[in-house]
Structure 1
Amino acid sequence: MAQLEYKELLDAGVHFGHLTRKWDPRMAPFIFMEKNGIHILDLNKTLGCLDEACNAIKGIVRSGRKIMFVATKKQAQEIVSEEARRLKMPYVTDRWLGGMLTNFQTVRKSIKKMGTIDKLLKDEVTVKALAKRERLMMSRDKEKMERVLGGITELTRLPAALFIVDVKREHIAVAEAQRLGIPVFAMCDTNSNPDLVDFPIPANDDAYKSIALITLAIGKAIEEGLMERKQDKDDARLAEEEEAKRLADEEEAKEAAKVAAKYEKED
């Protein structure tokens, strides 16, 4: 993974924390200093934590599992959803439904219902048979479901890990992941509790540029993990083909030896 430079972090405002009166004392190890009543994060710690998080995420993705992106704050929604879609990973950027992880089977039923409504609305014969009010209500239900569940329609089982922007805002998602033993990677500002997550990344979780920089770094790690997984599959397939060829050659050699032995006896 390409290491981020300090200048990139500074330009994106990753080092800016909250007002000192709003801080969480558990973030003290990640704070460099106080300036004009604002805490400044230690970028050395940010880079170290980000590197550790990216290596762990790469390993998870390489094993063929999914990372769920969670970011419902306005300034994070666009960049997070775009990156998740690019990587074909599940994401939640509108609203976190309580029980999205702990009551996953019920959520799957809602996704199935959304798919059923979508099929009905695409069927011209069925649509014409519906009253205008019914058609309108179905369309509204579908739009509402797509906003909330659109990012997880392809998720058939629980994700292997969560990447979260703003631990305080997404506290329900963090609590559900903790309950299920799902590791959490999260951007933690100076008002957050880093002890709640497995891989805290000390960073400004309010500025768009800061969120984008960290999210793209995580996305790069996922992309590398996917490429390594593809390479592993190609290597395994090549090894299987070579083994099959070797066995075929051995079998052919045995048959040739049998034929030769037969002619020797006849002579």
Structure 2
Amino acid sequence: MTIKRYFNSNLEDMMEAGVHFGHGSKKWNPKMAPYISAKHKSIHITNLTRTTRFLLEARNLVFNAASSRKNFLIVGTKNKIADLVASASIRARCHYVNKKWLRGMLTNWSTTETRLKKFRNLRAEQKMAKFNCLQKRDTERLKKELSTLQTYLGGIKYMTELPDIVIILDHQEKYVALRECVILGIPTICLIDTNCDPDLADISIPANNDAISSIRLVLNQFVYEICKGRLRNINNK
């Protein structure tokens, strides 16, 4: 499916993508009761009408923010969506974290800035072949350090300040990231499954955040809005 198709997705598209499938009824958060429409074979079914409503609210926020040249950070670290998060973020020119969230990445921004500066310096030295002038032991040590920094900071290597909006695709997995945003007052958009707390994010979108097809459908809608908003900003100059 194209991004345009995802943008125009209806309830049928959502059902096809499995957006409505929640967790087992024994693994649910009672706060999610208003967002659950039924239970089928011990599986909670998300109310897609509410999903559509909150998704539209989130899309409008994202579009307006992109039109105002705001910066986005997309967070999704489950192994099965790591490549999806990276490709979508690059397409929308967003920062992203698709591996491990380093505790204090935002709340201890001064330390993160130091790490990013080190990362950029090592990348520059490698490109200029400065590693070749060192002893083999030192070269291997710097290459290993650079590889580690690339893994954890590669998606935010161009980030020079705190993001304006953070989109979190795996709410439970990235609870620490969400708490950091709450502490700093950074607006958040989260995909929340039936085992999540819907009160923590600024906009919580009830949806299956385990299925790749579900995450892809929602994420591509955000990419569409960000690209459209940035194009509007360019055209208005």
TM (norm. structure 2) is 0.95
Q: For residues 50-86 of structure 1, give each alpha carbon's deviation from its aligned partner in whole angstroms, at most 9, with x where no partner exists.
A: 0010001111111111110000011221111101011
> Within 1, Cα distance between the matches of 2:131 and 2:49?
59
Which residue is 1:44 aligned to?
49
Which residue is 1:212 aligned to?
216
Q: For residues 171-224 of structure 1, give each alpha carbon's deviation from its aligned partner in whole angstroms, at most 9, with x where no partner exists.
A: 011000000111110100000001000101110000110110010011111111
Q: Which has the higher helix share?
A: 1
Which residue is 2:150 aligned to?
146
> Within 2, Cα distance between the matches of 1:117 and 1:61?
31
5 Å-filtered alignment, 1:131-170, equals: 131-170=135-174
Structure 2's unaligned 5+ residue stretches are none
Q: For residues 119-150 of structure 1, give each alpha carbon's deviation from its aligned partner in whole angstroms, at most 9, with x where no partner exists.
A: 222333x3333111110110010011011101
> Within 2, Cα distance between the matches of 1:174 and 1:25?
20
> Within 1, Cα distance between the matches of 2:128 and 2:162?
32
Q: Higher RCO, 1 or 2 (CA under 8 Å, sep at least 6)?
A: 2
Aligned residues: 232
Task: Tell me the secondary structure at the aligned position of residue 58 of structure 2.
Answer: helix
Structure 2 residue 11 is the aligned partner of structure 1 residue 6:
yes
Which residue is 1:114 aligned to?
119
Structure 2 residue 231 is the aligned partner of structure 1 residue 227:
yes
Task: Tell me the secondary structure at the aligned position of residue 186 of structure 1.
Answer: strand
Q: Highest CA radius of gyration, 1 or 2? A: 1
The answer (yes or no) to whether the contact 1:75–1:207 under 8 Å persists in 2 is no
> Within 2, Cα distance between the matches of 1:188 and 1:100?
22
> Within 2, Cα distance between the matches of 1:179 and 1:64?
23
Matched AA of 1:205: N
Task: Tell me the secondary structure at the aligned position of residue 171 of structure 2.
Answer: coil
Structure 1's unaligned 5+ residue stretches are 234-267
| Structure 1 runs, 4 residues or longer, greater than 6 Å off | none
Task: Tell me the secondary structure at the aligned position of residue 155 of structure 1.
Answer: coil
Q: Aligned in 2, Cα 1:140/1:64: closer, same or farther, shift over 3 Å?
A: same
Structure 2 residue 85 is the aligned partner of structure 1 residue 85:
no
Partner residue of 2:201 out of 194, 197, 202 = 197
Q: Aligned in 2, Cα 1:24/1:123: closer, same or farther, shift over 3 Å?
A: same
TM (norm. structure 1) is 0.84
Matched AA of 2:205: I
> Within 2, Cα distance between the matches of 1:69 and 1:224?
17
> Within 1, Cα distance between the matches of 2:202 and 2:120?
35
Matched AA of 2:225: A
> Within 2, Cα distance between the matches of 1:80 and 1:40?
25
Q: For residues 211-253 of structure 1, give each alpha carbon's deviation from its aligned partner in whole angstroms, at most 9, with x where no partner exists.
A: 10010011111111111111221xxxxxxxxxxxxxxxxxxxx
- Name the Cα RMSD after superposition: 1.2
Q: CA deviation at 1:3?
A: 3.4
Task: Tell me the secondary structure at the aligned position of residue 74 of structure 2.
Answer: strand
What percent identity do the matched residue pairs reach?
Answer: 34
Which residue is 1:242 aligned to?
none
Q: Which moved more, 1:36-45 or 1:106-115?
A: 106-115
Partner residue of 2:182 out of 160, 178, 185 = 178
> Within 1, Cα distance between the matches of 2:9 and 2:141?
49
Matched AA of 1:226: R
Task: Tell me the secondary structure at the aligned position of residue 196 of structure 1.
Answer: coil
